[in-house]
Structure 1
Amino acid sequence: MGQTSLNLVAIAVFAMTLSALLSPVLNISPFIPAGTTFIILGLATVDSFSWGGKGLTVFLDLFTSSEKRRRIIHHEAGHLLAAYCLGIPVTGYTLTAWETLKQGEQAGIGGVQFDFSLLSDEEKVSKNPLILERTFTVLMAGIAAENMIYSQAEGGQEDKENLREIMKILEIPSHLYPQKESWALLQAKNLLLRHETTYQELVKIMEKRASVEECQKLIQRTLIKN
């Protein structure tokens, strides 16, 4: 069972316990909180085993605050801008759990989909190590964007995990992980600061769900102007 489902189960159990204690005071039948808890636990179990937790993620995303959604857009715009500038192909992006589900992606509240197929060509990677550095920078650009706008990042754990998974596959020594991560974050920050005007324009059209092609055209146009 996923962490989100486990959290919901814990909340349901706590709510049932609290309701059982308060039901005599509030004159509520004990069958009501027990039945509600049973339904929640059943749905969480079905969702976890049948849908991989995606249904629960979509449901909880309905209660995401507008500020959180703004933060997600800023995060993903950082990824998209860095990917364009560094030549990493982008195949799509989502900004809500429902959009992610519709596109058949893994459960999540949004994300940019990259084409990292070039990393599988060991010969090209060995001849051009910049491919790796650019990939790492793109992965850390969402965190860099949140740091730039909000002073600290709330998202990005999955980005860090993906970065470390790539380094593991490429057999990069584990003691170098923090160094590579910090370097990539710094490069991403510098890139976004250099193109801050373009970044802000990108955020605006991503809010309107512009296509990847429209986003790329805007980036190209604004980069030429600046």
Structure 2
Amino acid sequence: MEQTALNLIAIGIFGMTLSALLGPMFNISPVIPAATTITVLSLATLDSFNFQGKGATLLLDWLAGTRSQHRDRILRHEAGHFLVAYILGIPITGYTLTAWEAFKQGQPGLGGVMFNTDALSPDVLDVRQLQWTLDRFCKVWMAGIAAETLVYGSAEGGGEDRQKLRETLTLLGRQGSEFQLKERLAIRQAQTLIEEHWESYEALVAAMEQRASIAECYEVIQQHYQTSEVAA
């Protein structure tokens, strides 16, 4: 996102420079592109130093959100996280689907589904419990990529999820050679869970689109769990 913001600023500056060069042809005062350039650079600098780039994040997410497929991808990505966390018994503390929603809730970046990660503390668990808990969280972190891939054939999001998984593995003393193997395995396992509970997943997508509460989302999932069990 930071690189995209820098690219956007560069494109904007290029456009304003071009307008300054072509201005005389269309009787545009050179003061206008100059003032615009100074304003944009000042706002970009203020955003970078005072707001840690949140302004650019909000703007870019808003622009991307004008595309319906982008909104749908985010919704299905986050529903994947939510469903797999529910299945594996990891408490969900909240979710957001836009950068603006995340900003209002005090969450960094684009937000997403928030979990209670206290269970990953090495001080609380023994080695065997920690490995079991880590495996569950890896599936949850990769579940967004898994859901996107199931629906669209590929995933556009998931960079932050991969980074979170790798940072956690590094913190727990794992080797870099394990990262990709762990990612691929977790994605396959998450896909299997989503496919096995596809009715719950589709119902959850519909509920999250309406910004249902955590309790309401749990209820929707459970209703379709029960329906699947009766059908079986």
Shorter chain as denominator, the TM-score bin is: over 0.9
Correspondences of 1:95-106 after superposition (within 5 Å): 95-106=97-108
Q: CA deviation at 1:4?
A: 4.3
Aligned to 1:188: 190
Does the aligned pair in 2 maintain the 1:86–1:134 contact within 8 Å? yes
SS in 2 for 1:209: coil
Does the aligned pair in 1 maintain the 2:5–2:60 contact within 8 Å? no
* Separation in 1, partners of 2:160, 2:175: 20
TM-superposition CA deviations, 1:49-92 (whole Å, max 9, x none): 11111122222332222221111000000000000001111100
Does the aligned pair in 2 maintain the 1:4–1:57 contact within 8 Å? no
Gaps of 5+ in 2: none
Does the aligned pair in 2 maintain the 1:5–1:44 contact within 8 Å? no
With the length of structure 1 as denominator, give the TM-score of the two structures. Answer: 0.94
TM-aligned CA distance change 1:96 to 1:6, over 3 Å: same
Correspondences of 1:52-131 after superposition (within 5 Å): 52-63=52-63, 64=65, 65-108=67-110, 110-122=111-123, 124-128=125-129, 129-131=131-133
SS in 2 for 1:92: strand
SS in 2 for 1:39: helix
Aligned to 1:10: 10
Name the Cα RMSD after superposition: 1.6
Match for 1:9: what amino acid? I
* Separation in 2, partners of 1:146, 1:171: 30
Single out whichever of 208-217 and 13-22 deviates more from structure 2: 13-22
* Separation in 2, partners of 1:189, 1:205: 20
* Separation in 1, partners of 2:109, 2:193: 29
With the length of structure 2 as denominator, give the TM-score of the two structures. Answer: 0.92
Match for 2:213: what amino acid? S
Aligned to 1:42: 42
Does the aligned pair in 2 maintain the 1:145–1:192 contact within 8 Å? yes
